[in-house]
Structures are given as C-alpha cells and as structure tokens.
Amino acid sequence: MSGQEKRDNKFETKLIHFGSEVDEATGASSVPIYQASTFHHHDIFNPPQHDYSRSGNPTRQALEDYIAVLEGGVQGFAFASGMAAISTTLMLLSAGDHLIVTEDVYGGTYRLLSNILTRMNIETTFVDMTQPELVKAALKPNTKAVYMETPSNPTLKITDIAEISTWAREHGLLSIVDNTFMTPYYQRPIELGTDIVLHSATKFLGGHSDVLAGLAVARTEEIARQLKYVQNGLGTVLGAQDSWLLMRGMKTLGARMAHSEVSARKLADWLSRRSDIEAVYYPGLPNHPGREVQEKQSTGYGAVVSFDVGSGERAKKLLNQVKLPLVAVSLGAVESILSYPAMMSHASMPPEVRAERGITDGLLRFSVGLEDIDDLLADLDQALANS
C-alpha cells in the first residue's frame, strides 16, 4: 500500500495500518522489540540508520512514525513520560523568553513553568484561554510561544485552537497544544494550524495503566529538526519495551474512546441531575460554555468528567466509599479512575492558585473506563449517599 493510500484511510484504519504494522524482514504481525543500545557499523564510510538507541531505535522509530500519521504531522518523538515530552519541547525556548499558558493547566506543567523554568529566566503568563482577547493582551516583546491545554485539566475549559494558533503564527510565535484528553481520535490540532502537539501517552493512548510515556508531533520539518536535536541532547527518550507496549495499546484507541465517551456522557448527565452535586464539568453538557467551540474543533467530548461534591471532607469520604474505580493518579485507562486533583494531579499548585482556577477542595475527576456504565453509576450513587 502506498503512502498516499495510507493517508486517505479513515482514522480507525490508520490505527491498525500505520506503516510498520508488519515487519518487512520476517512478516511478523508486530513490530519487533529491538532491545539494543548500539548498532554495528558494517562499513565505517556508510553508517547505519541507527547507531545508538538514545539517538534512534527501530522500535521507537515505528512508534514515532505511528503518532505522526495519526496527528497529521511530519515527524513524531517518543519520550520517557508526558512531562519529558513537555519539558523537552519547552527547551526550545531560551533564557529571557516568555510564553502564554492555559491558566488551569496540568499541575506538573504548572510546576515546571513556575518552579523550574523560572530558574532559567523563562517567564510565563497564565491566562483564561476561553477568552482569546486575554491571550492576545498577554503578548510581550519577548513572547515566543503559546501553550494550550484543551480541554483543560481538570476543569475542562475549551480553547479555540484554530483562532489562537492563527494569531500565534501572525506574531511569529510557536503554538503548542497538549492533546492528552482528546487524543487524535477526537482532535487533531496540527490540522487546525498548531505547530507542536503533545501527549501524556501514559493516558488514553496507552490505555492500560501499564506504560509511562510521552509523545510530541511537529507540524514542519524545521520544528521537527529542532525537537530532534533537543530530544537527543537531553536523552529523554522512551525505551524499546515501552515503545512496543504503547503501540499495542494505541491499536485499540478508537474502540476504547468510543465506548468510554458514551459512558462519560451518561455519567455527566446523571451527575447534572443530582441536587447534591455543586457543579459538573463536561464539554458535552448543553450548558457547558465551551461546547460550541468543542464541536467546531473536535469530533467528540472525551471520557473525562469532573464534578464538585461541595467540600473536601465529602470528597475524601466518597473516595473511600467507591468500589469500582481506581482511586489513583492518572486517567485514560480501561479501568475507570477517580482522582482528587487537590491532593493528586494539582498538589504542586498552591491552594490559593487552585482556588483562583476553580480547582476546589470538593472537585473530583472521573476518567470513565470500559466497565458497564450502570454498574459505575450504582457504585457512585452508594458512595455519594454514604458521604
């Protein structure tokens, strides 16, 4: 099958037929795991494609090509974690640079920007990106990039990717989108004009709570060249075994996301009709302020629902009452995961900063897995009744 024919395939087909699904040497139905750190030079004057696994490994290369196909970029890059992908990408910036970032960004990203990159004199302005005028007002002479997370974690606010990416290009800024929650199954920012797409592939792409990984995809060859240089220089790469595990998980992305989103819609609707829930955050709800933008740039609403039970005390009681979901850090797995942002994903964010961003002590984040939704609702109902 030619490359052009592959590009014309529907997304679900690309998940299975991505270019390296069959090993050319043996016909094996799975990409081999090249568990090697270095590669022999048969002819010193004609070095092999891969010479050292930090710089390139055939198994990791297959994964990197895979995500590039799915996101519609020119080149992909695989990292040891989502934060490794984010931190490596932000190392494209230099001392004295400034970037504009979604205000309720993931706590690990906030920590990197606020406590680590500040030591390198890289400055960040956090803004409510549901209001594009606030993004534009944050522009400074030294601004070099705009970093979007949409839907945001954990309050699920929506940023207009195309509008912000277009504005960024007009001002010579790099545009970056964390696409972890939607995955390319529902949302492909590069097609909307974004320069770099990032993933914590530990989540929906891996899908089985058994691999730690991050991915990045570049829109242009020049950006890809820069990312490759920094990835190799920092050595933040994903190992061969985890690369193989991630590819195996990604093959079922479509089936998993479709099932979980149907359940997430039912969960959000059920929660929104309860009188003992303070607020429900889900882009698929009719009253979600970002729903129109979400439907313009995405083909679905995702599988994460956040809701406020009213207080930290009640949230903690509920977490000890549920029987089916994992009470854990992370999301996007075959099993449902119930998280408490104030003590988990956003614990590194100061309490007063969390409060400003709507991350209350009563807020819970439910990543809906593949269980029967009626069983999940029955379990949550008893937990709420006993909290």
The catalytic residues are: 54, 106, 178, 203
Strand-by-strand arrangement of the 304-308 sheet = 279-281, 304-308, 363-367, 337-339, 326-327
Round the CA-based radius of gyration of the chain to a whole number and report it.
21
Class of residue 334 by CB neighbours under 10 A (exposed 0-12, middle 13-18, buried 19+): middle
Token pair belonging to 174: 């790099």
Residue 194 vs residues 152, 158, 176, 342: alpha-carbon distances, Å: 17, 15, 6, 30
Residue 233 vs residues 54, 78, 226, 227, 229: alpha-carbon distances, Å: 9, 14, 11, 10, 6
Class of residue 10 by CB neighbours under 10 A (exposed 0-12, middle 13-18, buried 19+): exposed
Owner of token pair 């006993």: 386
